[in-house]
């Protein structure tokens, strides 16, 4: 086999691997148009409506068990969404030296490529739970090691790909610790991605009342600030076993005039901070738990209210989440949970949304 044939065979293998979604390296996959620096306000405007995906999917530990398929990115796009936020438990897929598992990276490559090819913006979000409780310096080193591998890997990807440095800093990563760690993490990203938009959350679980404690490097103008909104927790997390204060609650309704007005005033305060700091906002998570005893009418009224208020305040948003819990999509029937979808993307808004949905599904009243 001469060198030409060899190259052709390698190319064929690469194309085949990419087609099957199983390529092992970043290079050959298509990560969208060449990178072009974009103002973060323009990026947020283009991100619009989004969906959290893959947070609890078995694909990360065993790709043969995947629930989420690459085609679901197209399903999400066709239903009227422009963004996906991919929740990554990257700190759990490293060896003791901080090296990311090549198989896990290959899965990530195929998901990123498929999402970008479906014309979606993609926020790669580093999620963690208790990994930083025992050893903060050790955890900081692993967070840096994570971005030290992910940032160069995707440095040529389209600007539609964004890096979200850390989901909901909490526990020992309080505002002081997080503010001190953040510039170092950002410096690692900036070494290979000087003008890519990076998404940053305040400490205190990304709660909106923590924005005032977030300190950002003043000279870096490619930052999008993200917050999460689950207030009131007694409603959104009733019956959720992972939140002890609300785990035993059920039957709490939501949607009074006062409750809806509170979302607007809460977002007014976010908007004031955003304007004062000149940082655009991505509401990266909101929603109400689906299996905890909340009624569906209250849940969709909540989803509708939060999504519309975010839009009225100029924030991009992403619903938590597509599959697993709070579900917008039912993997067992491979179909949208239409009341949730309709609350997020009102059917009149997009032609494709109308075409994609089951005809005859009653849209619950939104009062």
Check if the beta carbon of residue 203 is closer than 8 Å to that of residue 163: no
Residue placing its CB nearer to ligand GLC in the complex, 126 or 150: 126
> Is residue 317 a contact residue for ligand GLC (CB under 6 A)?
no
Q: Which of 320, 322, 329, 336 binds ligand GLC (CB under 6 A)?
A: 320
Residue placing its CB nearer to ligand GLC in the complex, 221 or 241: 241
Q: Which of 43, 57, 266, 285 binds ligand GLC (CB under 6 A)?
A: 285
- Neighbour-count burial of 203, counting CB atoms closer than 10 A to its CB (0-12 exposed, 13-18 middle, 19+ buried): buried
Beta bridge partners of 284: none
Dihedral angle computed from the Cα positions of residues 50, 117, 99 and 131, in that order, rounded to the nearest 10 degrees: 10
Residue placing its CB nearer to ligand GLC in the complex, 26 or 87: 87
> Is residue 319 a contact residue for ligand GLC (CB under 6 A)?
no
> Is residue 127 a contact residue for ligand GLC (CB under 6 A)?
yes
Size of the site for ligand GLC (CB under 6 A): 6
Residue placing its CB nearer to ligand GLC in the complex, 122 or 353: 122
Give how far Cα 59 sits from Cα of 15, 43, 93, 115, 191, Å.
Answer: 22, 29, 12, 15, 30
Q: CA-to-CA distance for 288 and 237, rounded, in angstroms?
A: 6
> Is residue 336 a contact residue for ligand GLC (CB under 6 A)?
no
> Is residue 303 a contact residue for ligand GLC (CB under 6 A)?
no
Q: CA-to-CA distance for 291 and 257, rounded, in angstroms?
A: 25
Minimal distance, residue 236 CB to ligand GLC, in Å: 8
Q: Which of residues 158-197 bind ligand GLC (CB under 6 A)?
A: 167-168
Residue placing its CB nearer to ligand GLC in the complex, 57 or 285: 285
Residue with tokens 């906002």: 281
Cβ contacts of residue 255 below 8 Å, gap of 6+?
297, 298, 301, 302, 305, 367
Minimal distance, residue 6 CB to ligand GLC, in Å: 46
Handedness of CA 34, 17, 53, 163 (dihedral sign): negative
Residue placing its CB nearer to ligand GLC in the complex, 297 or 325: 325
Interface positions with ligand GLC (CB under 6 A): 127, 167-168, 285, 320, 325
């Amino acid at each position: 086999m001469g060198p030409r044939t060899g190259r052709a065979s390698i190319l064929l293998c690469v194309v085949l691997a990419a087609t099957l979604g199983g390529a092992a390296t970043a290079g050959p996959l298509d990560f969208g148009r060449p990178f072009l620096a974009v103002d973060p306000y323009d990026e947020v405007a283009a991100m619009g409506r989004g969906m959290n995906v893959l947070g609890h999917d078995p694909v990360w530990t065993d790709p043969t068990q995947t629930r989420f398929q690459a085609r679901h990115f197209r399903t999400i796009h066709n239903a009227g969404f422009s963004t996906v936020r991919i929740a990554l438990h990257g700190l759990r897929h490293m060896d003791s030296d901080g090296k990311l598992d090549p198989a896990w990276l290959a899965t990530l490559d195929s998901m990123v490529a498929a999402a970008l090819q479906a014309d979606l913006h993609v926020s790669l979000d580093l999620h963690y739970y208790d990994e930083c409780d025992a050893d903060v310096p050790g955890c900081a080193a692993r967070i840096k090691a994570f971005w030290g591998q992910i940032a160069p890997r995707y440095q040529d990807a389209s600007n539609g790909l964004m890096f979200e440095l850390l989901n909901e800093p909490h526990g020992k990563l309080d505002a002081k610790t997080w503010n001190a760690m953040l510039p170092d993490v950002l410096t690692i990203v900036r070494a290979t991605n000087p003008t890519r938009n990076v998404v940053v959350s305040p400490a205190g679980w990304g709660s909106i009342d923590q924005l005032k404690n977030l300190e950002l490097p003043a000279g870096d103008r490619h930052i999008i600030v993200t917050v999460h909104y689950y207030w009131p927790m007694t409603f959104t997390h009733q019956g959720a076993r992972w939140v002890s204060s609300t785990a035993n609650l059920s039957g709490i309704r939501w949607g009074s005039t006062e409750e809806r007005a509170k979302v607007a005033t809460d977002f007014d305060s976010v908007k004031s901070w955003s304007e004062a700091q000149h940082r655009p906002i991505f509401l990266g998570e909101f929603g109400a738990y689906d299996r905890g005893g909340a009624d569906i009418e209250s849940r969709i009224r909540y989803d509708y209210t939060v999504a519309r208020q975010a839009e009225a305040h100029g924030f991009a948003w992403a619903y938590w989440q597509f599959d697993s819990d709070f579900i917008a999509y039912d993997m067992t029937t491979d179909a949208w949970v239409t009341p949730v979808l309709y609350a997020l993307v009102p059917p009149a808004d997009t032609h494709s949304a109308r075409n994609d949905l089951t005809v005859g599904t009653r849209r619950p009243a939104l009062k």
